[in-house]
Amino acid sequence: MTTFTERLYQNVQPIWERNHRHPFVQGLGKGTLEKEKFVHYLKQDYVYLIDYAKLFAIGAIKAHNLKTMNTFAAILHDTLHVEMELHRQYAESFGISRHELESTKATPTNVAYTSYMLNIAQNGSLADVVACLLPCAWDYWEIGKLLRKQYGDGLTFNPYANWIETYDSIEFAEGTKSLIQLMDELAEGKPERELAKLEEYFQVTSKYEYLFWEMNDKQLDWPI
């Protein structure tokens, strides 16, 4: 019998395949992405992660047992101290200070994406929280694996090798797997109308992932 996350994975493939083929993502894998685009990404993803981390805090509050609280607490810690530290290290190598990172103003796409997730998380159930935050973690893991498979032989000379290795790491995989398992547990026994709503959240945030790559590739910001 197909699990709920298997259903999510199968149905989201048309979106994720476009994410994976995006010039920004492929530029990371090839090591050819322009420095200015990556700097734009670092700044925007840094302020994105600040709001994304809040989703795990909300998840811990809505958790139904200590095991689930620990899951959210662990991923919250990794987001704040692993992912964001990677951004700080990269930024430093590009001459961007921590103050500059933290004073970055989110673009319209960034604001729309995080506001969508936070609104659903604050007003919805624990399952709603997980459905919103899962695509970012899961697809980054997929991208890490894909880019290593496609371009692993050239990572030694790739300036973005650490980025790829972070999202293809055992640690990141374990955190993502725990969220996938939790999504299946929370979906179990729910009627189709509720499952369809969870899948809608999953699909929409997956589309926002594409828009995020597009925003950084074109270095889009507020037009006024």
Catalytic residue among 83, 136, 142, 199: 136
Taking the alpha carbons of 158, 159, 162, 165 in that order, is the dihedral positive or negative? negative
What the block records as the tokens of 210 is: 């594409």
Taking the alpha carbons of 150, 156, 158, 159 in that order, is the dihedral positive or negative? positive
Q: What is the DSSP letter of 79?
A: I
- Integer Cα distance of 9 and 29 in angstroms: 23
- Integer Cα distance of 209 and 19 in angstroms: 7
Catalytic residue among 83, 142, 199, 209: 209
- Integer Cα distance of 136 and 167 in angstroms: 11
For residue 209, indicate whether it is catalytic.
yes
| Residues tagged active-site | 136, 209
